[in-house]
Chain A
Amino acid sequence: MDVAIVGVGMHPFGRTPSMTGLQQGAAATRAALADAGIQWSDIECGYGGSQDAGNADAIVNEMGLSGLQFTHIFNGCATGGSSLHAAYTAVKSGEYRNALVLGFDKHAPGAFNATPADWGIDDWYGEVGLMLTTQYFGMKIQRYMHDYNIANEALIAVAEKAFHNGSINPTAWRRQALSREDIATSQMISHPLRKYMFCSPAEGAVALILCSTEEAKRYTAQPIFLNAAAIRTRHYGSFEVFSPSQPVAHADSPTVIASRAAFQQAGIGPEDIDIAQLQDTESGAEIIHMAENGFCEHGEQQQWLRDGHTKIGGKLPVNTDGGCLANGEPVGASGLRQVHEICVQLRQQGGARQVPGKPRTGYTHVYGAPGISGVTILSR
């Protein structure tokens, strides 16, 4: 049995000094309830999380103490994807008729500063300056570009596309298009990645209302069906963040295995997807993820970017809302923003950024520390 998304709500990503992360979560929840035409008191269960903005189950203090089952989830960068997966299984099993999925966050400016002990690593690793996600992303794409003969122009093209899409998305944080030169001459952060190739920790919230397919038409004329949701962690041999060492043996990344599992569940393949949101923590991540999710071969990305295949209007538009690069990354909400954008696109509500040709299928992919991926496949 498929599960339907019947309501979506967002508090725009960026910076909202006047609101806590939880208040942003409540704003997104109210928007999703209104979109579905359902009352808070009728929501049977909820799953949600944040990294830096407190416990998601405190949402009842904002929304009302309705007695629903609410589970706080924290699962690194896949927190939103994991919350969605939990709600999906709860509804799919028949245990609950509907579910709220909530992600929100509010991070301080600047790169994340993770604590080694939280990730099972001894303190020296952080003290000597190795506990930085930015370094990892630089080293990962450095090796990938070496292995697959990809040039800097590909990194620049991804960022240029993201900020263009952001410039036509009224809820994006970064709404100024950037030229290739702006990107190519921006401050070097971690070779080969420059300032405008990285997303920034941010604030924002997304809420989704799920229900069984049978009940979907009660709430909306345009339900979006969740055909698959899969979360996978890393295998031994996958090159992941916060790794004092890695084996020489190679294993498929968590993205590859989550993607395969999701396609298998949905019974379709990458060629059947009309629009995709792929994790773009930085430009290099989007390039790697185009291949890891099965949309092209490793090494083909540069030509795809030259041909504009991933632009709005291309054969597989990617990150139509500007992705993490233009929206920033509030960890708890980021994966749910991708699902929100697919729903907007499949409902033909994308305005200036609407993908032409009435897309029928969408794909989302969130990835991050400590080596975890969440994939969903959606259709109308």
Chain B
Amino acid sequence: MNQSSTRSTALFTNDRYPKPRYIMSDCPIHPNLFTWPAENPSLLGGLCEHCGEVSFPVQSSCRSCSGSGSSVIELGDRGVLWTWTVQNFLPKPPYVTDQTPATFKPYGVGYIEMPAGVRVESRLLTADADKLKIGMPMQLVIEPFSANDRGGHNLCFAFDIVEND
């Protein structure tokens, strides 16, 4: 496992989430963002019943055609990096963290273009500007993000560079 110093450990803690062993006290940070529990999780989106536009997160009303009514679809777990940046300073709340400016570790952020036709904004597991390239393939991962009130973690999605693709 790559534990290089550039891998963000901001709150996407340390080891990758165990698969397919689920920890019952862990739960997604918000419903309907991704399939869970799942051996190969997929992002979820909304498909407009009227015009076929895809939304993320799932939205019942359509920003394209103004229609109401959508169904939930899987957006998959692979996409392409459309743009990116690195967050180099500790954000103020509402960011949830126990870090201080001194312990803050930068994290990557990007938009991932999914084959379903939507670009999803996401944390990236690398913060190394030299490794991030527009157009590179990216893989969905589900990681523990913050502590929840059940003694487990809130799980959130992120994307990682596809090694040896």
For B55, the chain A residues whose CB sits under 8 A away are 245
Interface size for A (C-beta < 8 A) is 37
For B96, the chain A residues whose CB sits under 8 A away are 127-128
Report how far A143 CA is from B129 CA in the complex, Å.
14
Chain B residue at minimal CB-CB distance from A244: B121
Check if B85 sits within 8 Å of A245, measured CB to CB: no
For B63, the chain A residues whose CB sits under 8 A away are 236
Check if B156 sits within 8 Å of A143, measured CB to CB: no
For B30, the chain A residues whose CB sits under 8 A away are 122-124
Whole-angstrom distance between the Cβ of B9 and the nearest chain A Cβ:
13
Check if B119 sits within 8 Å of A248, measured CB to CB: yes
A191 at the interface (CB under 8 A from B): yes
Check if A124 sits within 8 Å of B29, measured CB to CB: yes
Chain A residue at minimal CB-CB distance from B62: A236
For A132, the chain B residues whose CB sits under 8 A away are 87, 91
Check if B92 sits within 8 Å of A110, measured CB to CB: yes
Whole-angstrom distance between the Cβ of A13 and the nearest chain B Cβ:
22
Report how far A34 CA is from B134 CA in the complex, Å.
54
Check if A130 sits within 8 Å of B109, measured CB to CB: yes
Check if B88 sits within 8 Å of A187, measured CB to CB: yes
Given A135-B87, A139-B83, A244-B120, check contact A128 B145 (CB 8 Å).
yes
Given A122-B57, A246-B118, check contact A128 B88 (CB 8 Å).
no
Interface size for B (C-beta < 8 A) is 44
Report how far A244 CA is from B97 CA in the complex, Å.
20
Check if B134 sits within 8 Å of A245, measured CB to CB: no
Report how far A59 CA is from B89 CA in the complex, Å.
37
Given A111-B91, A124-B33, A245-B121, check contact A129 B84 (CB 8 Å).
no
B126 at the interface (CB under 8 A from A): no
Report how far A192 CA is from B87 CA in the complex, Å.
11
A348 at the interface (CB under 8 A from B): no
Check if A247 sits within 8 Å of B86, measured CB to CB: no
Check if A143 sits within 8 Å of B145, measured CB to CB: no
A115, A116, A138, A146: the one contacting B85 at CB < 8 Å is A138
Chain B residue at minimal CB-CB distance from A122: B30
Report how far A128 CA is from B89 CA in the complex, Å.
14
Whole-angstrom distance between the Cβ of A187 and the nearest chain B Cβ:
7
Check if A113 sits within 8 Å of B56, measured CB to CB: no
For A60, the chain B residues whose CB sits under 8 A away are none
B73 at the interface (CB under 8 A from A): no
Chain A 188-247 interface residues, beta-carbon cutoff 8 Å to B = 188-193, 236, 243-247
Report how far A176 CA is from B154 CA in the complex, Å.
47
Chain B 73-96 interface residues, beta-carbon cutoff 8 Å to A = 82-89, 91-96
B45, B107, B110: the one contacting A139 at CB < 8 Å is B110
Given A129-B123, A244-B56, check contact A191 B107 (CB 8 Å).
no
Check if A127 sits within 8 Å of B146, measured CB to CB: yes
For B89, the chain A residues whose CB sits under 8 A away are 111, 189
A142 at the interface (CB under 8 A from B): yes
Check if A129 sits within 8 Å of B107, measured CB to CB: yes
For A236, the chain B residues whose CB sits under 8 A away are 63-64
B160 at the interface (CB under 8 A from A): no
B151 at the interface (CB under 8 A from A): no
For A123, the chain B residues whose CB sits under 8 A away are 30, 94
A140 at the interface (CB under 8 A from B): yes
Contact with B along A92-135 (1 / 0, CB 8 A): 00000000000000000011010110000011101111111011
Report how far A245 CA is from B121 CA in the complex, Å.
6
Check if A247 sits within 8 Å of B109, measured CB to CB: no
Chain B 120-152 interface residues, beta-carbon cutoff 8 Å to A = 120-121, 123, 129, 134, 145-146
For B33, the chain A residues whose CB sits under 8 A away are 124
Report how far A138 CA is from B85 CA in the complex, Å.
6
B54, B85, B97: the one contacting A191 at CB < 8 Å is B85
For A146, the chain B residues whose CB sits under 8 A away are 83, 134
Contact with B along A271-287 (1 / 0, CB 8 A): 00000000000000000
Chain A residue at minimal CB-CB distance from B127: A191
Whole-angstrom distance between the Cβ of A275 and the nearest chain B Cβ:
32
B26 at the interface (CB under 8 A from A): no
Report how far A146 CA is from B133 CA in the complex, Å.
10
Report how far A187 CA is from B129 CA in the complex, Å.
14
For B145, the chain A residues whose CB sits under 8 A away are 127-128
Given A123-B94, A129-B107, A130-B109, check contact A139 B84 (CB 8 Å).
yes
Given A124-B30, A128-B29, A130-B109, check contact A143 B119 (CB 8 Å).
no
Report how far A247 CA is from B56 CA in the complex, Å.
9
Check if A247 sits within 8 Å of B82, measured CB to CB: no
Q: Could you jot down 21 A-B contacts, CB within 8 Å?
A: A113-B92, A122-B30, A124-B33, A126-B93, A126-B95, A128-B123, A129-B10, A129-B87, A131-B95, A134-B87, A135-B85, A143-B83, A146-B83, A190-B87, A191-B85, A191-B129, A244-B120, A245-B55, A246-B118, A247-B54, A248-B117
For the A-B complex with A245-B118, A247-B117 known, give 8 more contacts whose Cβ atoms are closer than 8 Å.
A111-B89, A124-B156, A128-B96, A131-B94, A135-B109, A139-B85, A191-B129, A246-B119
